A and B are shown apart, each in its own frame.
Chain A
């Protein structure tokens, strides 16, 4: 006996996704053909498991695993730069410990997706934190250099200039003048 099937791939896909996501107990929205929004945070282990489940049906998660990891790296760096009282001595040890992955792996994925290195991203974030601290007017450059784990004010100043192109003192003057200008307008 021969059977002839008529089918709708979209309905089939939706059904497979529903079953697999329910199995993984993930809350999701199906946004339309082949696009899904996950409503809670998903660990990279869960993401890999989900990918394995879907692979059985010939479905692959495109790029997302990597983007999720890159987002986690960024979040971890921002947490490190903004929330730690004093920055860790070794960025790579801190990141691989927090994310439970080899640093070399994190580093290569990060560069592949963002076209910039983890080290560069950290420098950029440190400069941002420095700007934030400078603009509060509550800290001396010496205190800021210490918090951000620079060996000296000169080292801090040089790296700040390397990233932003301007010196910390120049930044301070710009912020001050901008504030004067906007209060004059009011």
Chain B
């Protein structure tokens, strides 16, 4: 793992969820730097503002007001300067069709929102570790799908 922190961006309108994620990232053994935005509009502003340091991985809530996770995903995939960001969608749905559709639209990771904290920590650690392999071990990112 790198000594530099892994830069993570989280987009979620629910304050409790944001806290939950932030605490989970603080407790896992991997060094991360987490930034947060409160909805899809804020997210797109963040990603398109000049000079902002882009994240290596974006955690995106599917259900947000103003602009949904899927809308954001589709917009991000159309922007060349954002193509290297790994996108992890999380949602309460675990239907195979929803999962497949999300991957077809360009997501790399699909997380079924866990209800307990230790599970969330475990999942995030797994995502970061696998993502690290995709960044450093020459794996083909076109085939990068991970569902947890």
Binding site for B on A (CB under 8 A): 74, 78, 114-116, 121, 124, 128, 131-132, 135, 164-166, 170-171, 173-175, 177-178, 181
Contact = CB atoms under 8 A, between A and B. Distances in A.
B130 A124 contact: yes
Given A128-B139, A135-B143, A177 B133 contact: no
Main secondary structure of the interface of B (DSSP, over half): mixed
Contacts, number: 52
A174 B133 contact: no
A60 to B, nearest CB: 18
B145 interface: yes
A174 B145 CA distance: 9
Given A115-B29, A116-B133, A171-B145, 17 more contacts: A78-B138, A114-B1, A124-B139, A128-B139, A128-B140, A131-B143, A132-B140, A164-B145, A165-B146, A165-B147, A166-B100, A166-B145, A170-B96, A174-B103, A174-B104, A177-B100, A181-B104
B143 A128 contact: yes
A117 B50 CA distance: 40
A173 B139 CA distance: 20
B1 A170 contact: no
A170 B97 CA distance: 9
Main secondary structure of the interface of A (DSSP, over half): helix
A114 B130 CA distance: 11
Contacts of A166: 99-100, 103, 145, 147
What is the interface residue range for chain B against chain A?
A: 20 to 34
A174 B100 contact: yes
A159 B67 CA distance: 37
A79 B14 CA distance: 46
Contacts of A178: 103-104
A114 B135 CA distance: 13
B100 A165 contact: no
Contact of B146 (A114, A135, A164): A164
B133 A124 contact: yes
Interface in B32-65: none
Contacts of A132: 140, 143
A115 B30 contact: yes
15 contacts: A78-B137, A114-B1, A115-B1, A121-B133, A121-B137, A124-B130, A128-B143, A131-B143, A132-B140, A135-B143, A165-B147, A166-B145, A170-B100, A174-B100, A177-B100
Contacts of A114: 1
Contacts of B148: 165
Contacts of A173: 100
Nearest to B133: A124
B25 interface: no
A124 B140 CA distance: 12
B146 to A, nearest CB: 6
Interface in B86-108: 96, 99-100, 103-104
Given A170-B96, A173-B100, A174-B104, A115 B143 contact: no
Contacts of A116: 129, 133
A74 B137 contact: yes
